[in-house]
Structure 1
Amino acid sequence: MLQLVDFIVRNRFFLVFVLLETLSIWMVVRNNTYWGATYFNTSNYYVAKTLALSNSVSEYTHLDDINADLASENAHLHALVATLSQAKPLDAPAGYVPDSAFAERFSYTVAKVVDNETNKPNNVITIDKGTAHGIAPGMGVISATGVVGKVRFCSENYSIITSILHSQFMVSTKLVRSNEIGYAKWPGKDPDLIDLVDVSKYTKVYKGDSAVTSNQNSVFPPGIMVGKVESVEVNPNQTFYNIVLQLATDFRNLSYVYVVKNQQLGEQEQLKQRTETTK
């Protein structure tokens, strides 16, 4: 307390000057319309700038929460789209009545990517969800833009994904315009490009055509983007095109993924095994 009094006594002339200046400015602003309007406009401008900066900082610090919310919403939308597309497929024949359980067989779990490889011949991805969250080996993995890979190993809280950028990974893929089905397989070079093999050269293939997952797989819902046709070549000595796709998923900037669970996969696999044993 004594130090405060001593400070005031030592600086009394300066403090009186500041007080009188403040009082003078207040009286000018109060009694002069022009300077009053100028003061309030200027103060409002800087207050608005300060609030905008504060909001920007606050939004930046909450980006992780915002992205997580968007990823959860996308998972819900993926499930809805998959259900609607299977409820009555566009190419279904007249009189076809789909089973409601079949249409709703896919569910989605949001996961965050914690490690991602793109520069190896056999790339894998690590996510922050495991068996404790219902994840199991064999489940498909997609992003907001397209196919990512398939679950290979799981621990309680983490899973390893075999990326589509892996020499042993293939996915059944359909060209939208021609309805021709082939297999997307990575040649091990550019993480933005993938080959589409086993497409007959006796059908028409269009550059820029979309390539999506076909109905002929049990891991991914049909219609998930794989990529777009980048180039098409014909080898005279072969019966298939050499097609290169521009991948729909940007693996260098992969943050969130959706693990796809086929509720009826076990039933399908049991039938396949029974078929194999009776051959």
Structure 2
Amino acid sequence: MGELVDFFVRSRNFILFVLLEVLCFYFIINTSNYWGATYFNTSNRYAAQVLAWSNAANQYANLRQVNADLALENQRLNARLTQLLQSKPAAPAEYQADSAFADRFKFVVAKVVNNTTQFANNYITIDKGTDDGIRPGMGVISPTGVVGKVKICNRRFSVITSILHSEYLVSSQLVKAREIGTAKWDGVDPHLIKLNDISLTKPVSKGDSVVTSDRNSTFPPGILVGRVRTIGVQPNRVFHDLTLDLATNFSSLSFVYVVENRLQAEQDQLEKQVETEK
């Protein structure tokens, strides 16, 4: 306490000077319209800037919750869009999809907790497991495109075989040519993927979209796989050599959607029955 008193005693002249300056400043502002308006505008400008910085800091701190909310909204929109597309497929006018068939895909949002892209066979771990209805074989997509397929699960986590895997294949279709092929990663660049088995007789151009076909039960048809980047010819073969820009950026993957095909078990059971009767 004594040191504080000594400080004020030693600094009494400076403190008196500051107080008089503040008093003078107060009288100038209150007795002059010009300086009063100037002070008001300046203080408002700086106050607005400080408020903007404060809001920006708060928004940044809330980004995690905002991203989670957006992921939930995308989940709902994905489910609705898929239902509408399946109820009105590109088919003859007299065809009408069964309501159960049109509503067979269900989406569960999950957060990525681990992800690799540097290996020949890459995997992704998410924070949802069997307690959330996840099971092996389910497809996984991102807000922009295909991600992979669930490999194993426990109660709270699941491991996904990434599309960046040397043995993983995705039945895919060129949108314009309507030709079905197989998307497969060549193990080189995590931003590129190959599209195989597209006949040279089919016209292909750069920028064409490639989506999941309707001949697999893992993904809803129409999910973007990528866009054609380069077009070549496979040596001694009758197929295009197509390289695609992957739709999903795996280096910044945060949230994914696990796709449940509610009718997949029925389809698989029937197809296996046919195989055993051959």
Report the Cα distance in structure 2 between the residues aligned to 1:235 and 1:197, rounded to whole angstroms: 9
What is the CA–CA distance in structure 2 between the aligned matches of 1:225 and 1:72, rounded to whole Å?
20
For 2:235 and 2:25, the matched residues in 1 are separated by: 89
The aligned residue for residue 222 of structure 2 is 223
Q: How does 1:11-160 map to 2 (within 5 A)?
A: 11-89=11-89, 91-160=90-159
* TM-score where L is the length of structure 2: 0.94
Structure 2 partner of 1:181: 180
| Aligned residue type for 2:133 | G
Give, as a single letter, the amino acid of the residue that structure 2 aligns with 1:258.
Y
**Letter in structure 1 aligned against 2:230:** S
CA distance in 1, matches of 2:59, 2:211: 35
Provide, for residues 6-49 of structure 1, a one-character-per-residue CA deviation record: whole Å limited to 9, x for no partner. Answer: 76666555444333322221111011011001101111111111
The one-character-per-residue Cα deviations of 1:193-230 (angstroms, maximum 9, x if unpaired) are 11111112222122211000010010100000001111
- Structure 1 segments, 4+ long, off by >2 Å, are 1-21, 234-237
Aligned-residue RMSD, C-alpha: 1.7
Taking a change above 3 Å as real, the CA distance of residues 236 and 28 of structure 1, as seen in their structure-2 partners, is closer
Query: Is 1:255 the equivalent of 2:254?
Result: yes
Q: Distance in 2 between matches of 1:270 and 1:250?
A: 35
Q: Tell me which amino acid in the other structure corresponds to 1:231.
A: T
The corresponding residue for 1:205 is 204
User: Are 1:264 and 2:278 matched, yes or no?
Assistant: no
Q: In 2, Cα distance between the equivalents of 1:169 and 1:129?
A: 22
Residue matched to 2:165: 166
| Structure 1 runs not aligned, ≥5 long | none
Give the counterpart letter for 2:106 in structure 1: S
Tell me which residue corresponds to 2:275.
Answer: 276
Counterpart residue identity of residue 253, structure 1:
S
Residue 45 of structure 2: SS of its match in structure 1? helix
Secondary structure of the corresponding residue to residue 50 of structure 2: helix
Cα separation, 1, equivalents of 2:61 and 2:214:
42
Report the equivalent of 1:196: 195
- String of CA shifts for 1:125-155, please: whole Å, max 9, x gaps: 1111111111111000000110000000111
Amino acid of the structure 2 residue aligned with 1:69:
D
After TM superposition, the structure 1 stretch with the greater mean CA deviation from structure 2, 209-218 or 92-101, is: 92-101
Cα-to-partner distance string for 1:80-138 (whole Å, 9 max, x where unaligned): 1101111111x210211111111111111111111111111111111111111111110
Once the two structures are superposed, residues 41-99 of structure 1 have per-residue CA deviations (whole angstroms, 9 ceiling, x without a partner) of: 1111111111111111111111111111111111111111101111111x210211111
CA distance in 2, matches of 1:144, 1:6: 66
* In 2, Cα distance between equivalents of 1:122 and 1:235: 24
1:241 is the counterpart of 2:235: no
Q: What is the SS of the residue equivalent to 1:34? A: helix
State the identity as a percent: 57
Q: Per the alignment, do residues 25 and 189 of structure 1 end up closer, same or farther by CA in structure 2, a change over 3 Å counting?
A: same
Question: 2: distance between equivalents of 1:84 and 1:274?
Answer: 31
Find the aligned partners of 1:211 and 1:123 in 2 and give their Cα distance: 22
Structure 2 unaligned blocks of 5 or more: none
How many correspondences in the alignment? 278
The structure-2 alpha-carbon separation of the partners of 1:27 and 1:94, relative to structure 1 and needing over 3 Å to count, comes to same
